[in-house]
């Protein structure tokens, strides 16, 4: 057979008459042992960690008692990509802190940890498409450049060809974006939801899976400037339906990894991640209202539990609150629903109490919020009033309001941050580890 891979470790034996190589091609965590006779090649160039090799040989069973099930007895060396002595990836396993160092970003896919994460991410992406296609959703490619802010928070990256004009402006003058490329202000998308709803209200259940961008001035390990989102929109679905879909999706993904990626997950520092996946896949999620969640947290405070963030009705639950509910109170995933309208987006359906909206978050142990979703507000006058309440201009959302004017229909959806989903599985502590090159606020952009 022919093998192309990179040398993880190599050592000469028998006074330089032969060598053992551990070669990995990135397809799985296991290495292939290659036995090389000195008559075949220069052993010194082959045993160097990081060298690339392309070889041919025979697969054989090693002698009884060896840990390898098979090994390759080399017959021909087709290529050797030499490695400089300054190669920074050692034989020993590197910590995540070292792997996040700028000097290692472009080479870290060569490490066991990051190559495993790449395969896990690939498996989850494949599972995502499988889940939605098995359930007859249609994939929609929503635009990356948009003129509307889905979240209404204003934390968006602007797209413009008028950078030079901005530098010239003084005395508070504003750029005339009518002269810009799109004839108006344009931004990188924070979510494909609004555009996705236009398709859901025409062809039925749909989903999108693509990049999103947030210009949040955050220095935490839980925020990324660029990340990927999975967003379905379900027609004729209310808040109970969307909670059912979200739970089914998370369980499907968990079971997929149990079936396909156990070897990779065993490389993770968190050795309990496989057991946690089995729990997520097999345990019904707890469902409580936001008001019930706050009461539980208030009782915990009365009992002596200390939180860094104040607990009272109306707050946006902090990560420490979410983890308390999932890890201490219920010890399993929790879905919290019916949030105060003041902390949620304008498109979420107003409940009959006029204080809460039909929103839900899926919280999981070790991660916190994994999914955010809601029943969408389908009533024209109500959503128009909500947009104005939040101080947003109506004009950029006129097309969105048309969905309520022309054949409105009940529908719901949710969004899942794909990096958060990957983080659930190996329980990594920082999201940027999941990117070949991270894009947090202060990190360099590769290439």
R_g of the chain computed on alpha carbons: 26
Are 57 and 198 found together in one domain?
A: no
- Three-class SS state of 34: strand
pLDDT for position 367: 86
Are 402 and 310 found together in one domain?
A: yes
Question: Which residues is 361 bridged to in the sheet?
Answer: 336, 372
Phi, psi dihedrals of residue 394, rounded to the nearest 5°: -75, -35
pLDDT for position 273: 84
Last residue of a domain, one of 54, 87, 120: 87
Residue 170 located in a structural domain: no
Residue 102 CA: distances (Å) to CA of 110, 275, 446: 15, 33, 9
d(CA 388, CA 29): 54
d(CA 285, CA 360): 13
Are 145 and 6 found together in one domain?
A: no
Are 80 and 139 found together in one domain?
A: no
Residue 65 located in a structural domain: yes
Are 34 and 134 found together in one domain?
A: no
Are 64 and 152 found together in one domain?
A: no
Are 323 and 425 found together in one domain?
A: yes
Residue 93 located in a structural domain: no
Residue 96 located in a structural domain: no
Q: Roughly what angle, to the nearest 10 degrees, separates helices 239-260 and 112-134?
A: 130
Residue 104 located in a structural domain: no
- Under 8 Å CB-to-CB from 384, ≥6 apart: which residues? 394, 401
d(CA 174, CA 194): 28
Are 159 and 13 found together in one domain?
A: no
- Under 8 Å CB-to-CB from 304, ≥6 apart: which residues? none
Residue 288 CA: distances (Å) to CA of 117, 170, 328, 407, 435: 33, 52, 15, 33, 34
Average pLDDT by consecutive 10-residue portion of the chain (447 residues)? 96 90 95 93 91 96 83 94 90 74 78 91 96 98 84 74 68 76 89 94 97 78 82 98 98 95 82 87 98 98 96 96 97 98 96 98 93 98 96 91 96 92 56 49 43
Last residue of a domain, one of 87, 120, 141: 87
pLDDT for position 441: 45
Q: In what helix (H) or strand (E) does residue 4 lie, and over which residues does it extend?
A: strand 2-13
Phi, psi dihedrals of residue 129, rounded to the nearest 5°: -65, -40
pLDDT for position 289: 99
Beta strands in 115-235 (DSSP E): 138-139, 145-146, 158-159, 186-188, 206-213, 226-235
Residue 210 located in a structural domain: yes
- The number of beta carbons lying within 10 Å of the beta carbon of residue 306 is 7
Are 271 and 184 found together in one domain?
A: yes
Last residue of a domain, one of 55, 87, 119: 87
Question: DSSP letter at 155?
Answer: -
pLDDT for position 442: 45
Query: What is the domain range of residue 179?
Result: 109-163+175-434
Residue 294 located in a structural domain: yes
Question: Into how many domains does the chain fold?
Answer: 2
Q: State pTM to two decimals.
A: 0.89
Residue 314 located in a structural domain: yes
pLDDT for position 189: 92
pLDDT for position 84: 93
Q: In what helix (H) or strand (E) does residue 78 lie, and over which residues does it extend?
A: strand 71-81
CATH number at residue 53: 2.40.50.140
Are 215 and 77 found together in one domain?
A: no
Residue 445 CA: distances (Å) to CA of 159, 217, 311, 428, 439: 18, 17, 38, 22, 7
Give me the residue label for tokens 């290439």. 447
Residue whose C-alpha is closest to residue 313's, from 280, 355, 274, 376:
355
Are 26 and 122 found together in one domain?
A: no
pLDDT for position 447: 40
d(CA 170, CA 184): 21
The answer to whether 311 touches 326, Cβ cutoff 8 Å, is no
CATH number at residue 401: 3.30.930.10
Are 350 and 270 found together in one domain?
A: yes
d(CA 61, CA 270): 33
């Amino acid at each position: 057979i022919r093998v192309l891979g990179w040398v993880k470790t190599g050592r000469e034996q028998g006074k330089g008459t032969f060598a053992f190589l551990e070669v990995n091609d990135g397809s799985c965590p296991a290495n292939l042992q290659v036995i090389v006779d000195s008559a075949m090649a220069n052993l010194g160039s082959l045993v160097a960690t990081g060298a690339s090799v392309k070889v041919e040989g025979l697969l054989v069973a090693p002698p009884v008692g060896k840990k390898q099930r098979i090994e390759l007895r080399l017959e021909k060396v087709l290529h050797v990509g030499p490695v400089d002595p300054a190669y920074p990836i050692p034989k020993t396993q590197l910590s995540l802190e070292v792997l996040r160092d700028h000097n290692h970003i472009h080479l870290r896919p060569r490490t066991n940890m990051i190559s495993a994460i790449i395969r896990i991410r690939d498996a989850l992406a494949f599972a995502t498409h499988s889940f939605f296609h098995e359930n007859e959703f249609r994939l929609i490619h929503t635009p990356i450049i948009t003129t509307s802010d889905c979240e209404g928070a204003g934390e968006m990256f602007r797209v413009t060809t008028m950078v030079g004009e901005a530098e010239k402006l003084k005395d508070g003058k504003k750029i005339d974006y009518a002269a810009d490329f799109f004839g108006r202000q344009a931004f990188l998308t924070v979510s494909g939801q609004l555009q996705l709803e236009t398709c859901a209200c025409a062809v039925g259940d749909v989903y999108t899976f693509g990049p999103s961008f947030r210009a949040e001035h955050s220095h935490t390990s839980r925020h990324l400037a660029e990340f990927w989102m999975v967003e379905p929109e379900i027609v004729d679905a209310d808040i109970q339906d969307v909670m059912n879909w979200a739970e089914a999706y998370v369980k499907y993904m968990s079971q997929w990894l149990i079936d396909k990626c156990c070897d990779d997950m065993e490389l993770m520092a968190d050795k309990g991640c496989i057991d946690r996946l089995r729990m997520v896949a097999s345990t019904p999620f707890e469902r409580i209202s936001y008001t019930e969640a706050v009461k539980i947290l208030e009782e915990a405070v009365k009992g002596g539990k200390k939180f860094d963030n104040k607990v009272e009705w109306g707050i946006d639950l902090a990560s420490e609150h979410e983890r308390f509910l999932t890890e201490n109170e219920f010890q399993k995933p929790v879905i919290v629903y019916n949030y105060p309208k003041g902390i949620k987006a304008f498109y979420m359906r107003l409940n009959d109490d006029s204080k809460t909206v039909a929103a839900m978050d899926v919280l999981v142990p070790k991660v916190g919020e994994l999914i955010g979703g809601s029943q969408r507000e389908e009533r024209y006058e109500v959503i128009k009033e909500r947009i104005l309440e939040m101080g947003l201009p109506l004009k950029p959302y006129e097309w969105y309001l048309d969905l309520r004017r022309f054949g409105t229909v009940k529908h719901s959806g949710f969004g899942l941050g794909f990096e958060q989903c990957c983080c659930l599985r190996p329980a990594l502590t920082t999201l940027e580890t999941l990117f070949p090159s991270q894009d947090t606020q202060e990190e360099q952009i590769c290439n």
